[in-house]
Amino acid sequence: MAEPKATTKPRVVCCVGDIHGYIAKLQNLWSNLENAVGSSDFQTALIIFLGDYCDRGPNTKEVIDFLISLPSKYPNQSHVFLCGNHELAFAAFLGLLPSPPDGSGFSETWKEYEMNEEREGWYKGEGYEKMHLQGRRWAGTVTGLNQAKYKGSVNNAGPTFESYGVPHGSADLMKAVPDEHKKFLASLVWVHEEDNVGIETEEGLQNCKLIAVHAGLEKGKGVEEQLRYLKAKDTKISKVAALSGSKNVWNIPEELENTGTIVISGHHGKVHIEDFRLIIDSGGGLENNPIAAIVLPSKKLVLDTDQLGV
Per residue, the 3-state secondary structure of 167-224, as one string, reads: CCCCCCHHHHCCHHHHHHHHHCECCEEEEEEEEEECCEEEEEEEEECCCCCCCCCCHH
With H, G, I as helix, E, B as strand and everything else as coil, classify residue 264. Answer: strand
**Residues 201 and 96 reside in one and the same domain:** no
In a domain, 3, yes or no: no
Find out whether 194 and 13 touch, Cβ atoms under 8 Å.
yes
Question: Do both 143 and 214 map to the same domain?
Answer: no
Do 256 and 195 share a structural domain? yes
pLDDT of 138 > 60? The answer is yes
Spatial CB neighbours of 305, under 8 Å, sequence gap ≥ 6 = 28, 290
**Under 8 Å CB-to-CB from 7, ≥6 apart: which residues?**
none
- Average pLDDT for 274-296: 96
In degrees rounded to 5, what are phi and psi of residue 38? 100, 140
The answer to whether residues 231 and 298 belong to one domain is yes
Number of domains in the chain: 2
**Residues forming the active site:** 86
User: Is the predicted pLDDT of residue 21 greater than 90, yes or no?
Assistant: yes
Between residues 115 and 150, the one the model is more confident about? 115
Let me know how long the chain is. Answer: 310
What does the alpha-carbon distance between residue 213 and residue 230 come to, in Å, rounded to a whole number? 9
pLDDT tens-digit map of 31-84: 999 999 999 999 999 999 999 999 999 999 999 999 999 999 999 999 999 999
The answer to whether residues 28 and 135 belong to one domain is: no
User: Which residue range is the domain that position 257 belongs to?
Assistant: 13-85+187-303
> What percentage of the chain exceeds 70 in pLDDT?
95
Please say whether the beta carbons of 12 and 295 come within 8 A.
yes
> In the predicted model, is pLDDT for residue 6 greater than 90?
no
Q: Is residue 221 part of a domain?
A: yes
